[in-house]
Chains A and B, each alone.
Chain A
Amino acid sequence: MTYKNKKLFKLFQTVDDPSAQTIDENYVEINGSKCLIDSPSSTPTLIYKFQFYTKDGSTKQSLLNIKLQKSNDNFSSNIVDVPNCIMNISGDEATAGDQYDHTVSTFFIVENFDSDYLRLVCRSYSSSFESVLHRSSEYDGSAATTIYYNPSLIVLEV
């Protein structure tokens, strides 16, 4: 009997001291969420886990639309939404000034993955909402401008 290790793709990555991303009504890639899938399988099943921090922006209210996308050309021209890998994130936004600070923990399973790249993109629901990613403005009882939350990504082939 001959044994051979079958390598499965796995990736662990983070972004250190990311710049703040201010999210308006246009979809943008969430810093640290993009990865190249280098699997020996042509149609792997992937576990995609990404964590990042978000808070309300200048509108003092936050409602994020978030979706997973795939591409075979590093999102140059081929950009495809992964079906039903979407979510909204908001705290209370019934009253103006309802602020929301939150660590978002995404967890998607992508079966029969047929592309090369994955990433998360997000936008604010409307101009009434604005979010800021990766940075907090308050910490330890004081206003702060240099508190960064490093996003982290884990992708596992199973």
Chain B
Amino acid sequence: MLYGVEDIIKNVLSLDAKETNLRPGEFWAVDGVSFELRRGECIGLIGPNGSGKSTLLKMLNGILMPDRGSIEIKGRVGALIELGAGFHPMLTGRENIYINGSILGFSKKEIEQKFDAIVAFSELADFIDTPVKHYSSGMYVRLGFAVAAHMEPDVLLIDEVLAVGDVGFRAKCYVKIAEKMKNCTVVFVSHHMPQVAKLCTKVLVLDHGKGLSISDPSRGIEQYNSLFPDTQLTIAGTGDAHIENLRLLNAQNMATDTFMYTEGMCIMFDVQVAGNYEEFLVSITFMTADTNLIAQCHSKYNNTILTNSGKRSTVSVTIQNLTLNPGTYYMNVIIFDKSNMKHLLWMFGAKKVIIKGDFLGGAPIQFNAVWKQIQQ
């Protein structure tokens, strides 16, 4: 607060504002980041929370001024940063379209021309004369997106607003953005890597305000994933089962955590289950670095019966064809009782698995299909 007052006084008196010196408690939110972008290109800004993505976006939007360095932008800038800006809950959808439109820089004539298209896009024609306070949050955001989507900017700034609405509407938003991208330059901030991989032509990785790299999306995303610490092993369950010597073997029977795409993998471990269980089931699941489950193999679904006498046994699970997309994954091991309901042991993040390959796909599973082309 006092810095604010100090800055005001300096500005008004035209004193030299802070150039390179930070006052106690201050830090550079974005520092040493340079890039150039042309029409038709889309840059993805990715990085952990607080890495400076939104600050950079605000500077590009002209809301914040850089304290050093410069930004040059040619053309009209449109920002999909805040959906439904200026909406008043008491007013109807129709009135709010006009208000939001004016805030986004539409003239009255432009809004009138686009009004029908906006309403059609939002699919809210039945509720357009209802005060928006009666809208559900999804409807509210749809209306906001519908207005924003009808901007015709030269430079479009997008900040994670797409993670809203139902599946159908989200898909529609994508199509609209892809359509816009043809005619403008896009700066896209997101934590959702498949989106980034799909939309961006290059990626800027930010961490603690520093630009780490500008590269093609696949390499950028890899670097982004490497910024996060390994998922910690967490053990839960009733405690009636124990696992030791969990190891991953490659085709050469070597213990490793790195596998080639389509290589075979053998998971081995020694297990001891309390004697009162006659049988037990094992589920092995794979998840991405952001803990989304993507693949599973389960003893019961593979028609294998694991019997128990209370003594230690060794289990090996062989996956012949590992078709995970190159990247980093974590493996969980869960031991169930016969009913598949009671968790005897739950090892979350039991192993890290790195898949190498000469490509980077947009989806976690990359089927190794057989392709044929028949010439006519």
Q: Do A and B come from one complex?
A: no
